[in-house]
Structure 1
Amino acid sequence: MRVSPGWIETEASIDLARRPALEHGGDIETGKRMIMESLGGIPIGRPSTPDEVASLIAFLASDRAGTITGTEYVIDGGTVPTA
């Protein structure tokens, strides 16, 4: 089993979003939009949260997922690949 997260909204990723926002005279939401656009777009309109990824992992590690094998779980809000 494999969990493949996309952009996760952490403190570090928000710091990253501040850079283009400051360079282009925008706010943090502008910086986040710029990052999402550079990723090809995220249809749900926001990055995933650490709690969302942790919840998926907790489920997969639980007895309720005991028969799930060999599967990749992409948790990226539908990010559109750019390459």
Structure 2
Amino acid sequence: MRPSAVLRHAGYDFQPAYDDGTTQFAADATFRQVAGLADASWSSFQSYNHPDPYIRHYAYQLRLDPINTATGRGDATFRVTN
């Protein structure tokens, strides 16, 4: 059975991808969970290999963006559920 695809960033956009075993894949598909940028009780996800951008939803899409406005902080803050 083939493992499930994961999100990998490429050019600040996301795409589902399968692990190809490379160091680059691992870096592109790894994110650091930190306290939410807009609400510390929620979560934000910082890129592992590019520490300034965070996962952000914008116009119904996920993007990897640097965050420097209140709107950006809200867009990059997620409630993690089970």
Which of the pair has more CA radius of gyration?
A: 1
Higher helix fraction (1 or 2) = 1
TM-score when normalising by structure 2: 0.23
Q: Larger relative contact order (C-alpha < 8 A, sep ≥ 6)? A: 1
| Higher relative strand content | 2
Q: TM-score, normalised by structure 1?
A: 0.23
